[in-house]
Structure 1
Amino acid sequence: MLEGQGNCCAVCRSGFTEGDRPHIDHDHSCCPGKKPCGKCVRGLLCGRCNTGLGQFKDSMTFLRAAISYLESFR
């Protein structure tokens, strides 16, 4: 998976480093804990993107609202 993503975060495309290793992103509605079952793995993310998705509870509604909010200040 790491090679398939070009050693980069699937969201922001920043390269992984020793200081920012990949985080396994998974669908929390399948596996509510921290460890995925393996079937629900979506990709590898940097810490910032992984935390961001978690803070938005993987909700596309919340993420779209955040984008709309940011765009209103352009």
Structure 2
Amino acid sequence: MDTLSKSISIEANELLELSQWEETKDFRELSNELADVFIYCILLAEYAELDIKKIIQDKLAINAEKYPEVMGCECNE
């Protein structure tokens, strides 16, 4: 689990580097880095036997209650 968590952080930092000095216009590179983050997140969720859809729905519901003016969506669908 530790390796997966570190990999998520490393890949997220690579994603951040794309806009470190200016907003990126290279959406191919953006999609590649974003995919790397997603892949490691999915692997970690599978390792922890978490239901990805459920944890996202639960978190969206929490955020909707906490930040109703920002979320502005129906998160219990």
Same structural fold, with TM-score higher than 0.5 when normalized by the shorter chain: no
Q: Which structure's residues are more often helix, by fraction? A: 2
In terms of fraction of residues, the more strand-rich structure is 1
